[in-house]
Every structure is written in C-alpha cells, then in structure tokens.
Amino acid sequence: MGSPSQPVPVKAASYYDTWKVFRTVIAPTLGKGVIKRRPLVEAAAQHHGLDTKAVQLLQELRRKYGNGPLLFQFLFRCQIIILDPKDAAQVLDETPIPFTSASREKQSSLDHFEPGNVLIADPERRKQLRPVHEHALATNQRVHPFAEHFRNVIDAELESLFRNADSKGEMDLDWDGFSQAWFRIIRRIVLGDTARDDEQLTGILDDIRRRGNWGFAALPGKRKLESFQTQVAQYLKKREEGSLVSRLPNDSDLGLEGQITHWLFAFDPAGIVTARALALLGCQPGEQEKAVEGAKATGADHSFSRAVFLDSVRLWPTTPVILRELTKDHTIGGQAVRKGAGVIIYAPLFHRDDERLDFAHKMSTSTWMDKEADPPKALFPFSAGPAMCPAHNLVPMVGSLVIDVLLSRASVALVEPKLDPKSLPGTLDHFEIKLHLSKRVARAV
C-alpha cells in the first residue's frame, strides 16, 4: 500500500452518471447561452427549474462518490467537476499556473468577439494586460475615482426614463425598457457621452456574442468583428474625460479594443443582476426601505444596496460555470489529475448548496455587509484568486448606484414573476421581470 500522503487517482463517474450530468448540467447551461442569453431557453429553464435540478444532481453525486473532484469522460473532452468548497478555492487560488483560465472552451467562444483578451492570454501576455485593466477599473478600490461622474450619468439617464411615467408618476418597467436605459449608462461610462445613443455598436456586439455562444461550432465572423473594433477604436482615440477608456495607456501593442470589448460585454450580465436585485427589493418592502435609507448616505459606497446586488449574483450567477484547464499533472484535494484535463466549478452548486448554507434559497445581505472581502468559502460572485474579475469593485458600485438613484425617485413593486422571498427559485428569467414604479412623495418635515 502507498503512503497516505501519496495522491490517489481521481474518481471517475459512471457512463450513466456522465450522461445525466451532460443532460442536466452541461446542456442547459450551454442552451441558455454562455455569452449572450437566449430568451426562450431562459424561460424554459425557469419554468422547469433546470438550475435547481442541476444542483440537486451534483449533490446526489457528491453523496455517492464523496466530496473529491469527479472525472467525467465526455465525448470529446475529459472534465473534472469540483464538488468541495476547499477544492474550488484551490483551483481559483492556483490560477493561472497550473490552472489556466484560458481553457479551450473559453478560447473558442471569446475568440469570436474579443481575441487577445486578458482572460485567454498566456501567462506572459497576462502580466502585461492585467495591470492595464486593474488601473482603468480601479480594481482595489471600493469606490472608483470617477464615481461622482458615474452617478451624474445614472441620475440623468434615470430622469429620462421616468419621463415615461403617467400623470400620477407611475409606470411599468420591463427588461426591454430597463436594458435600454442601462446600456445608455454603460456606453457613457465605458466610452464617453458621445457613445450614449450608439445602439448600433451594442447591436453589433450582441450579434458577434451570439456567434460566440456556439464556440467551436461556429466560423468566426471576421468582417463584423473588424467593423466593431474599428468603431471602438474611434472612441478610444477620443478618450473622453470621465470615461473608463480615458484611463487606458497609449499603447497600440496591447490590443486595447479587445480589452474594451470585454467591459462592454461584462456590463450586460451586470444589468441582469441589477434588474434581479430590484426584483428582490420589489417583493420585500421591508428590505426595500432599508435600501432607501441606505441610499440617503453621501458618497457612492452604499453597503446595503451593494449587498443586495452581490447576493443577486449569488442567487443567480451570471457566470454559472467557471472554467480552468490543467497545464501540467497536478493534484486537486489530494487526488491526481492529468495535464490537459478541463476543470469545471459550477457556481450554483456552491451558492445554492442547502446542505451547507442555511440561507441558500433566500436573500442574505448579511453575507456581504462589512465582510465582502472575506465571504464564506465557495461564494465567488466575481470568481476569486489571481484571475478574479478586475471589475469586482466597479460593477457592484455601478449596480448599487442605479438601485439607489432609482429608489430615491420611486418605490418598486414586483409585478412578474411572483417570488416567494423565503424560497427563491433556482432560475430567475430576467426577460420576464416587470416592475411597477411609483414616484415617491416627499414627506413633510
């Protein structure tokens, strides 16, 4: 017998369990659209509780095979699915070597619309690009240096949105209406005020992102990508004061258009998170009042609305699958894994693990209040470790500012879908969200 300290071979799932995981976890995740969400599949996922079924299956396999990493031999690819929080932390902490974030699957999708991005760069290139992102996005600061300007942008765009209210100051707001206002905000924040009405730019990005959904199965649309990058380059040349692009270096060798593209792409799921956060507050009046009170504080660091935003990501991760790939033979949780294996961290398993978390299926702002930098293990709304999203401070700040400004103007009631705050569903289709906004009446002093 070998020494207890020696690694043991990783356990392999049976063919039947591999099929069940493909059918229940992999296929629905791909079907919803990993790069650009597909409305019909999102609706089906909510109606049939597909995310809940995926979590339950992985919990079942964890009971069957143990907490260690589990090997699945899919048709064209060997994948390790992580089942234990400690193993998830190890994989994320040991990125990019030996767990590279530039997995083949990720490269095949991102090459369609942001080739050369830091996410799929080799280690040397990553050393050049990561500091560029961290400076522009103010990675290590809870409040971005341009926060006051961003708030002014948000205030102006939401004021424009409320012009659609009736004579009583009431209006319904669905995803289409919210997303139009959201993307006007984001284009101004990222590219500058002159990009406010450039819906064509967003439309082209949406098209090439839809192609990215297909990864290996789609041919690259080089002409459309080049057209998009040319338009982005025009805004990069302007470098409007107060925009994120104004904080980028004057270095043509860094492929800055591809870096900016990711910001525009990533702010789409951030809008989804914000809409879901408003839905959470719209079905919990008491929590909404806490957010309203918190919004009265000066500055841009409002802990409560920020915590609601972060817990919205926990409840419904917009990046449900975190992918890594081993660049050499290694061990995960004491089990030996071969070079080239793909590694999957299925975020909903950890975020909705009711075998481990007593708040798995309800909003828990206390999880993030005053301890956002050190949340419970295996809660990673923006990933974790060296490859943690460089906008992990900026995005919650922008989302919480939108929540604060909107709530300062109106009360919010969730019209659709119906949510039980004590038992929130595993899937919340943002395309279905409808809010009723009622203008707030100033209280007499």
Q: Would you give the distance in Å from CA 159 to the centre of its chain?
A: 27
- Look at residues 428, 409, 55 and name the one whose alpha carbon lies nearest to residue 273: 428
Please identify which residue in the block is written with the tokens 């290590």: 140
Identify any residues that bridge with 379 across adjacent strands, giving them in sequence order. Answer: none
Angle separating helix axes 199-212 and 222-238, nearest 10 degrees: 140
Query: What does the pLDDT look like over 51-95, one tens digit per residue?
Result: 999 999 999 999 999 999 999 999 889 999 999 999 999 999 999
Q: How buried is residue 16: exposed, middle or buried, by Cβ count under 10 Å (0-12/13-18/19+)?
A: exposed
Q: What is the percentage of the chain residues whose pLDDT exceeds 70?
A: 96
Q: Kindly tell me if the per-residue pLDDT of 272 is higher than 90.
A: yes
Collapsed DSSP state (helix, strand, coil) of residue 251 = coil
Mean pLDDT of 237-263: 93
Q: Kindly tell me if the per-residue pLDDT of 344 is higher than 50.
A: yes
Query: What does the pLDDT look like over 127-163, one tens digit per residue?
Result: 999 999 999 999 999 999 999 999 999 999 999 999 9
CA dist 390 and 86 (Å) reads: 23
Question: Rounded mean pLDDT of the chain?
Answer: 94
CATH pick for 15-439 out of 3.20.20.140, 2.40.110.20, 1.10.630.10, 1.20.1440.120 = 1.10.630.10
Query: What does the pLDDT look like over 166-221, one tens digit per residue?
Result: 999 999 999 999 999 999 999 999 999 999 999 999 999 999 999 999 988 888 78
CA dist 377 and 67 (Å) reads: 15
Mean pLDDT of 400-426: 98
Report the pLDDT value the prediction gives residue 299, as an integer from 0 to 100. Answer: 78
How many Cα neighbours within 13 Å face the side chain of 319?
A: 18
Which pLDDT band holds residue 29 (cuts at 50, 70, 90)? very high
- Residue 414: CB atoms within 10 A of its CB come to 18
Report the pLDDT value the prediction gives residue 444, as an integer from 0 to 100. Answer: 39
If you ran DSSP here, which 8-state letter would residue 438 be given?
E
Question: Which pTM was predicted?
Answer: 0.95
Report the pLDDT value the prediction gives residue 62, as an integer from 0 to 100. Answer: 98
CA dist 386 and 389 (Å) reads: 9
Q: Kindly tell me if the per-residue pLDDT of 3 is higher than 60.
A: no
Domain ranges of the chain: 15-439
Asked if residue 9 has a cis previous peptide bond (ω within 30° of 0), the answer is: no
Least confident of 10-24, 67-81, 245-259: 245-259
Residues 6+ apart with CB under 8 A from 325: 99, 100, 102, 103, 104, 340, 341, 342, 343
Query: What does the pLDDT look like over 296-322, one tens digit per residue?
Result: 887 788 899 999 999 999 999 999 999
Least confident of 40-49, 388-397, 435-444: 435-444
Q: Kindly tell me if the per-residue pLDDT of 2 is higher than 50.
A: no
Mean pLDDT of 108-123: 87
Amino acid occupying residue 267: F
- Look at residues 250, 242, 248, 127 and name the one whose alpha carbon lies nearest to residue 195: 242
Q: What is the percentage of the chain residues whose pLDDT exceeds 90?
A: 84
Q: Kindly tell me if the per-residue pLDDT of 445 is higher than 50.
A: no
Beta strands in 106-236 (DSSP E): 170-174
Structure tokens at 37: 């969400």
Mean pLDDT of 28-49: 97
Contacts 24+ apart (CB under 8 A), 413-422: 413/282, 413/438, 414/279, 414/282, 414/283, 415/172, 417/46, 418/283, 419/279, 419/280, 419/283, 421/280, 421/283, 421/284, 421/362, 421/363, 422/361, 422/362
Q: Kindly tell me if the per-residue pLDDT of 415 is higher than 90.
A: yes
Collapsed DSSP state (helix, strand, coil) of residue 384 = coil
Mean pLDDT of 324-346: 97
Report the pLDDT value the prediction gives residue 55, as an integer from 0 to 100. Answer: 99
